[in-house]
Amino acid sequence: MTEKILKAKDLKRGMKARVVSINEEEDVCPRLLELGLFPGTEFQVVKIAPLGDPIEINLHGYKLCIRRSEAGCLRLVELD
């Protein structure tokens, strides 16, 4: 399995990614943790809004829409 650092703005439809770390200091991060986006979580991009943002991801058996900018406090790696 090759792992490649990924930025939230480069997420594309169908892509799978894993969270490797999260910056707890940023405003939105506690909520992202509570919604299940913590280190170790894997998710897949399900939809991208026609204007490019927000995106819908599938994690822990449910789907969530977030903005790319707000996923910025996550460090991601690409899975394939």
Partner 1 sequence: MLNSIDIPKAARALPQIALVGNPNAGKTSLFNALTGSRQKIGNYPGVTVEKIVGSLELEGQQHELIDVPGLYSLTAISTDEEVAIGALLESGQAPELVIYVLDASNLERNLFLFSQLAETSLNVIVALTLTDVVKREQGEIDLAALSSHLGCEVIPVVAYKETGISQLKDAMVRALADPRELELDVGFPQIVLESADRVVDQMNRWGVDLKRKDARCVLLDEHCTTGDRFREIPELWNVVEEERAKIFGHTVQAKTVDAQSRYAWAAKVKRDSYIAPTVPRKFTKSDRIDAVLTHRFFGLVFFLLLMYGVFQSIYTLAAPFMDLIDGGKTAFADFVSPMLAGAPAVQSLVVDGIIEGVGSVIIFLPQIMILFLFIAILEGTGYLARAAFLMDRLLGWCGLNGRAFIPLLSSFACAIPGVMAARVMPDQRSRLMTVLVAPLMSCSARLPVYMLLIGAVIEPRYGPIWAGFSLFLMHFIGLAVAIPVVLVLNKGIFKGKRLPFMMELPKYQWPRWKDVLLTVVSRAKVFLVTAGTIIFAMTVIIWALLYFPRGDEKAYKAQWVAQGHVAQGEEFDHFLEMRQREDSILGRFGRTIEPVFKPAGFDWRLTTAILAAFPAREVVVPAMGILFGTGADVDEESPSLQSSMNAAKWPDGRPLMTPWSAASLMVFFALCCQCMATLAAIKRETNSWKWAAFAFGYMTALAYVLSIAVYQIGSRFG
Task: Give the residues lining the site for partner 1 (CB under 8 A).
Answer: 22, 24, 27-28, 30-36, 38-41, 47-54, 56, 60-67, 70
* Between 2 and 63, CB nearer to partner 1: 63
Contact 45, 39 (CB under 8 A): no
Q: Which of 2, 30 has the CB closer to partner 1?
A: 30
CA distance 34 to 6: 22
CA angle, 53 then 57 then 60, to 5°: 155
Complex with partner 1: residue 2 or 61, whichever CB lies closer:
61
